[in-house]
Chain A
């Protein structure tokens, strides 16, 4: 319950934050605090310095334009879940935000904090992978853009460098005749995803699948795409049988986690079930 001692900096600008981050060894960013503070209270994390970015207003915003949606790193899950723009444009992301933790956690936890923490059972990674998101990171010498597929590296590990600050997430607008959905099977204690699947499909004017992307979280050390399933959908009319057959391949080649909540075998099974449900829901949403 009592975190170890640390130094605290409340940054007022992005450049100040990355300045402090660059100067201090073993410094960590404090966003909403809902990933790092619990770990510190159990003394599982002991950063020497915390850089609080909670006061940097421009990090807490949702900007929707013709080509996509930009979400600041400090935007809370509650803001995302409540955003009409996101509900209309990116219903899968809206749903994922709505299913995180509980209301109090959503009021405080942020998208940036969550994805930088890279918990293997977090909800967003599945959605960001499926929707082809890009993360925008800044350090004192410059900035770069990291594709979601490159961002989630391993268990609790992202492509962010220790001196980089994740500032926002950019999600491209869905192509016409696209639908997206997020389906989650929660672990009953933490309500993190035992398995969470985001499907995004685009149909051509004949109803044939022109594009499919499926992101899966909770099942293995880090979120990943179900490429075999995606390929199996392409060029097909997505009826129930096709979806079932494609979803059955969703866990192929996946090295699923095993713990007291679920065996690897059960997780793999849930991946197939949740994938089928996510695809079905995504197809139903295609306008």
Chain B
């Protein structure tokens, strides 16, 4: 067991954890933040994407201990003061989700994407979400949602 000090969604935590505990499992099983989903075990699907010190990472491929001392943002913290993040709002407005299982990861990937590139082309958006597999939507409305959010955020 090892000491973990971590700030998740602005709250500081301290836990004794097994070294093999993955960040995704820590968020879900220890903190009860189940908005971060686990969809594969080979780092492909992106359902587990969170922001680690501000950048999108696949939390199933990060040990909790690798995030020691870091800031983590999960989907649960995106809505602030009762207001949806523009990406959340745009996903809702544009039918950017169906079953919702990939949605947390998809939105957080888009947060990272728009931070690096506030005015992406459709092609850049499609490439930007290559690490997130959605089996429901066919991606078209996800792309539309990200475009709408980008316009809103500019």
Contact = CB atoms under 8 A, between A and B. Distances in A.
The answer to A–B direct touch (Cβ < 8 A) is yes
Interface in A109-164: none
A242 to B, nearest CB: 33
A58 interface: no
Given A38-B42, A107-B56, A33 B20 contact: no
Interface of B: 2, 18-20, 22, 38, 41-44, 46, 49, 52, 55-58, 60-63, 65-66, 68, 109, 112-113, 116, 128, 130-132
Given A10-B65, A34-B61, A105-B58, A42 B42 contact: yes
Most chain A C-beta atoms within 10 Å of own C-beta, residue among B38, B49, B61: B61
A206 interface: no
Interface residues of A, number: 32
B62 A33 contact: yes
26 contacts: A5-B19, A6-B19, A8-B63, A10-B68, A30-B63, A33-B61, A33-B63, A34-B61, A42-B41, A42-B42, A52-B66, A78-B55, A82-B116, A102-B130, A103-B56, A103-B109, A103-B112, A103-B130, A104-B49, A104-B56, A104-B57, A104-B112, A104-B131, A105-B131, A107-B57, A190-B44
Contacts of A22: none
A228 interface: no
Contacts of B128: 103
A287 interface: no
Interface of A: 1-8, 10, 30, 33-34, 37-38, 40-42, 50, 52, 54, 78, 82, 101-105, 107-108, 189-191
Contacts of A189: 44
A41 B24 CA distance: 13
